[in-house]
Amino acid sequence: MSIRLRKFIGAIALFALVAVWALLAMALAQAPAIRDSSVLSVAYYVIAGLGWVVPAMPIVAWMGRKGMLDER
């Protein structure tokens, strides 16, 4: 697989990851415990806002990896 195609697929995967992550984070933010406590809300939004980076790291690593056929 060419590096160009790998980056294209990775970009689409990252967009999908961020969209799904945002929708799930918004849905979970409506839980009464999070919604009613300002301290818990701030902690939740910090964790949810930065949490998508962890599942995105393998996608970015895969995008930058050279395949066996890329050495031409």
**Structural domains of the chain, count:** 1
Answer yes or no: is 53 within a domain.
yes
Residues 43 and 34: their CA atoms lie apart, in Å, by 9
Let me know if residue 72 belongs to a domain: no
Question: Per the domain annotation, does 8 fall within a domain?
Answer: yes
Q: Is residue 71 part of a domain?
A: no
Return the percent helix, strand and coil in the chain, to nearest 5.
80, 0, 20
Measured CA angle at 50 (ends 23, 30), to 5 deg: 40
- Please tell me the total number of residues recorded for the chain in this structure: 72
- In a 3-state reduction of DSSP, which class is residue 2? coil
Q: For the segment 9-39, what is each residue's pLDDT rounded down to a tens digit?
A: 999 999 999 999 999 999 999 999 998 999 9
| Residue 37 resides in a domain | yes
Q: What is the predicted pLDDT for the residue at 65? A: 84
Report the pLDDT value the prediction gives residue 20, as an integer from 0 to 100: 97
How do residues 41-67 score in pLDDT, each as one tens digit?
999 999 999 999 999 999 999 998 876
Tell me, yes or no, whether 69 lies in a domain: no
* Range(s) of the domain holding residue 25: 3-64
For the whole model, what pTM was predicted? 0.79
Kindly state whether residue 33 falls inside one of the protein's structural domains. yes
* pLDDT exceeds 90 at position 69: no
